Structure 1
Amino acid sequence: MTDPEIDYGAVFKSLPGMVALLTPDLVYADANEAYLHAAGRTREQVVGRCLFDVFPDNPSDSGASGARNLLVSLQRVLATAERDGMALQRYDVQSLQRPGEWEERYWSPVNAPVLGPDGRVVLIVHRVEEVTELISARGVPEGSRPRVLEAELYSRARELQEVNERLRQAHSREREVALVLQAAMLPAPGDIGHHRAAVRYRPAVGALNICGDWYDLVDLPGDRIAVAVGDVVGHGLHAAGVMGQLRSALSAASLVADGPAQALEALGLYARSVSGAENTTAVETYIDWDTCTLTYSSAGHLPPALLRAQGDVEFLDGATDPPLGARPEHVPRPQAATGFAEGDTLVLYTDGLIERRAEDIDAGLARLANALTRHQGAHPEAQADAILLDLLPPGGTTDDTALVIVRL
Structure 2
Amino acid sequence: MREPQIDYSEVFHALPGIVALLTPDLVYADANEDFLRLAGRTREQLLGRYIFDVFPENPNDPAAAGMRETQASMLRVVATGERDTMALLRYDIEDRERPGRWVQHFWSPVNAPVLGPDGNVLLIVHRVEEVTELIHARGGHGSSSRARVLEAELYTRARELQDVNERLRRAHARDREVAIALQEAMLPAPTPVGHHRAAVRYQPAVGTLNVCGDWYDLVDLPGDRIAVAVGDVVGHGLKAACVMGQLRSALSAAARVADGPARALEALGLYARHVDGAESTTVVKTFIDWTTHTITYSSAGHPPPALLRADGTVIFLDRATDPPLGARPEHVPRPEATTPFTEGATLALYTDGLIERRHEDIDVGLARLGRALVRHGRAHPEALADALLGDLLPPTGSADDTALVIIRL
- The two structures have a TM-score, normalised by structure 1, of 0.68
1:314 is matched by which residue type in structure 2? Answer: I
Report what 1:257 is aligned to.
258
Contact 1:190/1:197 (<8 A) preserved: no
How far off its partner does 1:250 sit? 0.3
1:152 is matched by which residue type in structure 2? Answer: E
2:256 is matched by which residue type in structure 1? Answer: L
Give the secondary-structure state (helix, strand or coil) at the position aligned to 2:274.
coil
Give the secondary-structure state (helix, strand or coil) at the position aligned to 2:200.
strand
Whole-Å Cα distance in 1 between the matches of residues 245 and 341 of structure 2? 31
1:65-76 to 2 correspondences below 5 Å: none
Distance change (3 Å), C-alpha of 1:298 and 1:144:
farther
Which has the higher mean CA deviation after the structures are superposed, 238-247 or 324-333?
Answer: 324-333
What do residues 324-350 of structure 1 show as CA deviations (whole Å, max 9, x unaligned)? Answer: 112233222222221111111110011
How far off its partner does 1:29 sit? 12
Report what 2:369 is aligned to.
368
1:230-309 to 2 correspondences below 5 Å: 230-309=231-310
- The two structures have a TM-score, normalised by structure 2, of 0.68
Contact 1:345/1:407 (<8 A) preserved: yes
Give the secondary-structure state (helix, strand or coil) at the position aligned to 2:331.
coil
How far off its partner does 1:143 sit? 4.9
Report what 2:83 is aligned to.
83
Whole-Å Cα distance in 1 between the matches of residues 286 and 157 of structure 2? 54
| Percent identity of paired positions between Structure 1 and Structure 2 | 72
1:324-403 to 2 correspondences below 5 Å: 324-403=325-404
How far off its partner does 1:107 sit? 11
What do residues 78-102 of structure 1 show as CA deviations (whole Å, max 9, x unaligned)? Answer: x855324354699xxxxxxxxxxxx
For structure 2, the residue ranges without an aligned partner over 5 or more in a row are: 1-6, 16-30, 41-54, 56-65, 91-105, 130-136
Contact 2:310/2:342 (<8 A) preserved: yes
What do residues 183-211 of structure 1 show as CA deviations (whole Å, max 9, x unaligned)? Answer: 22224245401211111122224431001
Distance change (3 Å), C-alpha of 1:89 and 1:405:
closer
2:318 is matched by which residue type in structure 1? Answer: D
2:270 is matched by which residue type in structure 1? Answer: L
Whole-Å Cα distance in 2 between the matches of residues 345 and 87 of structure 1? 50
Contact 1:190/1:199 (<8 A) preserved: no
Which has the higher mean CA deviation after the structures are superposed, 199-208 or 244-253?
Answer: 199-208
Whole-Å Cα distance in 2 between the matches of residues 89 and 166 of structure 1? 17
Distance change (3 Å), C-alpha of 1:108 and 1:215:
same
Report what 1:42 is aligned to.
none
Aligned-CA RMSD value:
4.2
Report what 2:211 is aligned to.
210
2:255 is matched by which residue type in structure 1? Answer: S
Contact 1:211/1:240 (<8 A) preserved: yes
1:305 is matched by which residue type in structure 2? Answer: A
Which protein shows a greater Rg?
1
How far off its partner does 1:320 sit? 1.8
Whole-Å Cα distance in 1 between the matches of residues 403 and 164 of structure 2? 33
Whole-Å Cα distance in 2 between the matches of residues 156 and 325 of structure 1? 48
Whole-Å Cα distance in 2 between the matches of residues 368 and 401 of structure 1? 13
